[in-house]
Structure 1
Amino acid sequence: MKPLVSLITVNYRQAEVTLALLKSIRESAVPALEVILVDNDPVEWVDFESALPGIQVIRTEKNLGFAGANNLGMKKAQGSYFLLVNNDTEINPNLIHQLLSCFSNPTVGAVCPIIRYHEDPTKIQFSGFTPINSITGRNELLKTLPRLVAETPYFHGAAVMISAEAVKKSGLMCDSYFLYYEELDWSIRVRNAGFKILVTPNAFIDHKESISTGKNSPLKLYYQTRNRVHFMRKNSGSFLLFLIFFCLVSFPKKWLSLQFRREKPHLKAYTKAFQDSIISPQYGMRDWAA
């Protein structure tokens, strides 16, 4: 008998995209699947239940962000495994079976599929991560298809299956991030709890990428910048070196570039991210406005 899998996804003002995901779930006809949709949009009401009979829809009173909404879904989930997928993805019938097959070893806590670009599935967006550099606070996505199942230091928030046991031992995502870097922080806690994180070349998911925030929006720039500093403050053993690099090299270079291109909304968001992460981090981590 196959274990129950709880598929959790979050909608935020992207009803059409979310409905496309639900259609792909319905057409995949995966057995032993609980589907939980956290509707993070308190303004527009959409009848998601008609799109996928049996779905559990949790409607929030305010935008909880990526981490907060997924945490809420996991608290309601009954499965032995949680499959977190972005609403801007579409699944296929083999996805869950291939991910589950990697959990035969009890030391495995999370497994990612290969993430492909929806507009061109021949191109890979993610096949693993490189470690985060202790000075720059940056890392890279691997984009070549591995021959075998491989370990990765972090999983990708767009699509990951994680065991309920790993969640129990590592805790939920840190919702102070709101958007971006929360899955990297969570990955470290999963590994610190004694679990491995894998990427399997046998499972694929197609990702439309940055539908909710925009591929190059001021909102995305704000949270990626602010949370990069927050992540390094929490997890880096050499935060002072990172801080020196960020303040003397990284921030001025980007700020001057935005100023030269006269991208005023981005410049405002970037400056505010600096203020909320360096000058007044305790205030900034409670302030979700970009």
Structure 2
Amino acid sequence: MYAQPLVSIITINYNESGVTLELLKSLRALTYPSVEVIVVDNASPNDNPDRIKEAFPEVRLIKSPENLGFAGGNNLGIDAAKGEFLFFINNDTEVPPGILEPLVETLQKHPEIGIISPKIKFHWDPSLIQYAGYTPMNPWTIRNNSIGYRQPDGPDYDTAGPTESIHGAAMMVPRRIVEEIGKMPEGYFLYYEEHDWAAMIRRAGYEAYYQPASYILHKESISTGKNSPLKTYYLTRNRVLYARRNFSSLHLLFSILYLCLISIPKNTLTFLLQRQWAHLSAYWRGITWNLHHPAAART
């Protein structure tokens, strides 16, 4: 039987306090005995986060004076957290009562693990998987694939083990790893920062790990929209930024060639034919951002 040290649960609210309240309701049923819950409101312009504190007075509510993005908001939570383990979870999720025990026990038993994610299933159909580990990041397309995506849950996805990356909707990190490696990289603002953080942790000699004995139910992209120009912009911008920060010179050359010869022409033509002008503008702003920010790969 392992000890059960304090776990700091950190989530970000942005214009979705009603959704956050649903998460907090599920967290109240946790069987793990030692937790603190921190909600960071990322300067929501159209929401009243005070209702979170009113409904759940045990929660620590931090109001950021500005929208710091996914990493910046979570890093505010890290600064306030007291736990030995930090559990980052999207506000558009709900959890079963026993989610924390397998994650904590795995990290205690295996100090070589630096970051861990549970199985993630869709809230709208819990029989379907969203995440059961990740494939390696493709050096051409700068994309990885979520193992088991939209597949029926079953024994094929019930084996714990190392994985190429974790999922930002639910990830646990020991405090000692944060103190050694550093907090989440803030240059992305939205998307790819969890993959960069996992890459940082792996380069330091630790494993990223998948633990299917725990799971969450994910409502997916409520704050940003499932197919919004905002999402197009940051996915485009940050896919290139990730390659600049993490790929070798040879792999970066591969990805630039693919981008210029295949990806940019294909996406531009698609948006033009579909008359998706907002997405076309967002896509090109994401590409050109990298040209105007050469130093971003080093910060």
- TM-score bin, normalised by smaller chain: over 0.9
Find the partner of 2:41 among 39, 42, 48.
39
The secondary structure found in structure 1 opposite 2:67 is coil
Find the partner of 1:14 among 7, 10, 16.
16
Alpha carbons of 1:283 and 1:256: their partners in 2 closer, same or farther (altered >3 Å)?
farther
Q: TM-score, normalised by structure 1?
A: 0.94
Comparing 114-123 with 145-154, greater Cα deviation is found at 145-154
Tell me the equivalent position of 1:140: 145
Structure 1 runs of 4+ off > 6 angstroms? none
Tell me the equivalent position of 2:201: 190
Tell me the equivalent position of 1:92: 96
Q: Is the 8 A contact 1:21 1:88 kept in 2?
A: yes
1:77 aligns with 2:86: no
1:260 aligns with 2:264: no
Q: Take 2:296 and 2:186, find their aligned partners in 1: how far apart are those partners?
A: 13
Tell me the equivalent position of 1:276: 289
Residue 203 of structure 1, CA deviation: 0.7
In structure 2, what residue type is equivalent to 1:33? V
Q: Deviations over 1:65-119 (max 9, x none)?
A: 0010001101111100000000001111110012112111111112211000000
1:27 aligns with 2:40: no
1:68 aligns with 2:76: no
Q: Take 1:246 and 1:221, find their aligned partners in 2: how far apart are those partners?
A: 15
Find the partner of 2:61 among 57, 60, 71.
57
Residue 50 of structure 1, CA deviation: 2.3
Q: Is the 8 A contact 2:115 2:166 kept in 1?
A: yes
In structure 1, what residue type is equivalent to 2:181? S
In structure 1, what residue type is equivalent to 2:11? T
Q: Deviations over 1:134-159 (max 9, x none)?
A: 12211111016423211111111000
Residue 261 of structure 1, CA deviation: 0.5
Alpha carbons of 1:284 and 1:254: their partners in 2 closer, same or farther (altered >3 Å)?
farther
Aligned residues: 284
In structure 2, what residue type is equivalent to 1:60? S
Q: Take 2:282 and 2:146, find their aligned partners in 1: how far apart are those partners?
A: 25
The secondary structure found in structure 1 opposite 2:29 is helix
In structure 2, what residue type is equivalent to 1:87? N
The secondary structure found in structure 1 opposite 2:87 is strand
1:110 aligns with 2:111: no
Tell me the equivalent position of 1:213: 224
Q: Deviations over 1:243-279 (max 9, x none)?
A: 11101111110110010000111111111111112x3
Structure 1: give runs of 5+ residues left out of the alignment: 286-290
Q: Take 2:27 and 2:278, find their aligned partners in 1: how far apart are those partners?
A: 38
Q: Is the 8 A contact 1:26 1:52 kept in 2?
A: no
Structure 2: give runs of 5+ residues left out of the alignment: none
